Structure 1
Amino acid sequence: MKTKKERSMYPVWFVLPSLIIFVIFFLWPIISSLYYSLTVWNFETAKFCGLDNYKLFFSEHSMSSSVVHTLIYAFGTSALKVILAFFIAIFLTSKIKTKGFIRSAVFFPNLVSMMAVGLAFSYMMHPTKGLLNMPIQALGGTPIDFLGDPKTALLSIILTDVWKGLSISVVIYIAGIQSIDKTYYEAASIDGATGWQQLKHITLPLVAPSQNSIIILSLIGGLRSFDLIWAMTGGGPGFSTDVLASVIYKQYAAGFYGLSTAGNVVMLILISVIAFPLQHFLNKREEAIQG
């Protein structure tokens, strides 16, 4: 017969392994990062400098502008994925005969590594020899320097990211659409609802859980994106495509470890400030729709 104390400790033994993993791999790295972001450190010593790293980070335009670029990149890729993937998923759940083949083709970009996609598109966007400029030159137009012009470089990478990451969003949407009870559409058809009305009043509200997942995943992925940008431009031309992750890498590679750690903390705060309130808002919206 177990004592009262033993019974009260019983649930703790189930929580303890997860708690240990959480402390070691999540809580401790955050605390240590906060400390080292307030120091000038190398692998031997750490000298406390207060908020100097943060002041330098936001006073230098080459670094502070990366926050704006990160937000543009994250919201731009997320919005395009949410909208385009929805209509592609609607098309791929219709009664077309070749939808199996098209689904495979849509999912193909996800099988290729991000670095490979970045290198391939950087060659395709070459200002004189690139595949995308060949038709423009053939028609007598002026070649576009997609990645060499600060006005078009970030947009070019955003569109490449959308091409690469659209497949996952489409798959999530398809799963959400196929889980909707068909009787809703049958009842709507009997009442004389058009295809657009069914899409607006049945599909769009009931696919909200899938849409919320896509928004959160794509937004967080965009906020911490690095590999595609590094493969295509390395943050250039100038600093026009530098995002937080690329700036953090550059500072670390240059030996400014404290400044790099401060950038990591800024990224963590930025993701938390955006992701948690957005998750709360989306959950409330989903409850309101389903209620």
Structure 2
Amino acid sequence: MTTIAERPTAAAEAPPPHKKRKRMKSMYPTWFYIPSGVLYVALFAVPTFASFYFSLTRWSLFDVEFIGFDNFVTFFSEPMLFQGLINTFIYGFVTSGLKVVLGLALALLLTGSILGRGYLRATIFFPVLVSTIGVGVTFKVLMDPFDGLINKSLAVFGIQGPGWLTDPAWALFSVALVDVWKGVGIATLIYIAGIVAIPQEYFEAAKVDGASAWKTFRNITLPLVQPATATVVLLSLIGGLRSFDLIWAMTRGGPGFSSDVIASVIYKQYQAGFYGLSTAGNVVLFIVVTAIVLPINHYLTKRQVES
């Protein structure tokens, strides 16, 4: 007969509390990471550090002169260059905000029970597949203030269309609207994936409780598509802050400097032979994108975790 003292206690059976878990080994050997590491250093790290150095110089293909922060002083003191920085912020936030709003609205429409849903999805996504330069050239013709189809269509209803690309007050926003038209398909696709992934039981429970469409959207759909929102915000914001090809195809930064952004300013300085100033602009663009995107990414990620 086993006595109480001889019986194993729960404490004896439990594993030691301070025993460390065995660290899981990677399924790949260390040398497997060497090729990707070499490519990263050669194609990203080295050019990045080289850009920081050459931004402090006045350089050409055959000569380099160290001038300190003179390029950055020039960049922020010249009205034309500083205006490009301001326009970059405006363009990036306008295009990003519109893509989020329109992408979510279109995704809600295209996940509902509507006729021709598959065809409409393909139609909205089609502009994403078209060349950006082709889109820019096409809309440059359509937005011509005199012979463009847009203003001619408005004239039929007695509306005098503005100079979409020739009026300094309209040029930047006109290009931004074209950018939204071209890129909203990606945002819509991401939101559709996010909405479809929401379990239908939530919507059925809300319907049983008598919740209105607005309450269902606000309390179920909107919180549960936050990962999709974070993706759309980051992708569209990075794309907007770095945008160049569409602006160059439609306005070349004009009229004057009204639609210039950092990328187009960098290109113009490079064309003029100011290579050091152009490199400094690249560094400014890198810092601006990093300083904006990283905090937003941290904030959105934190909200996802909390929710």
TM over 0.5: yes
Q: Which residue of 2 aligns with 1:148?
A: 166
2:78 is aligned with 1:44 = no
2:248 is aligned with 1:230 = yes
What is the CA-CA distance between 1:195 and the residue it aligns to? 1.4
Query: What are the within-5 Å matches in structure 2 for residues 1-291 of structure 1?
Result: 11-289=29-307
Structure 1 range deviating more: 242-251 or 137-146: 137-146
What is the CA-CA distance between 1:236 and the residue it aligns to? 0.2
Percent identity, aligned pairs only, is 51
C-alpha separation in 1, matches of 2:197 and 2:257: 45
RMSD of aligned residue pairs (Cα, Å): 1.5
C-alpha separation in 2, matches of 1:86 and 1:281: 20
> Contact between 1:128 and 1:143, CA under 8 Å: does it hold in 2?
no
C-alpha separation in 1, matches of 2:223 and 2:75: 43
Q: SS of 2:92's equivalent?
A: helix
Between Structure 1 and Structure 2, whose CA radius of gyration is higher? Answer: 2
TM-score (norm 2): 0.89
Q: Which residue of 1 aligns with 2:14?
A: none
C-alpha separation in 2, matches of 1:166 and 1:273: 25
C-alpha separation in 2, matches of 1:76 and 1:137: 28
- Which runs of 5 or more residues in structure 2 are unaligned? 1-24
C-alpha separation in 1, matches of 2:158 and 2:223: 47
What is the total number of aligned residue pairs between the two structures? Answer: 282
What is the CA-CA distance between 1:97 and the residue it aligns to? 2.3
What is the CA-CA distance between 1:253 and the residue it aligns to? 1.0
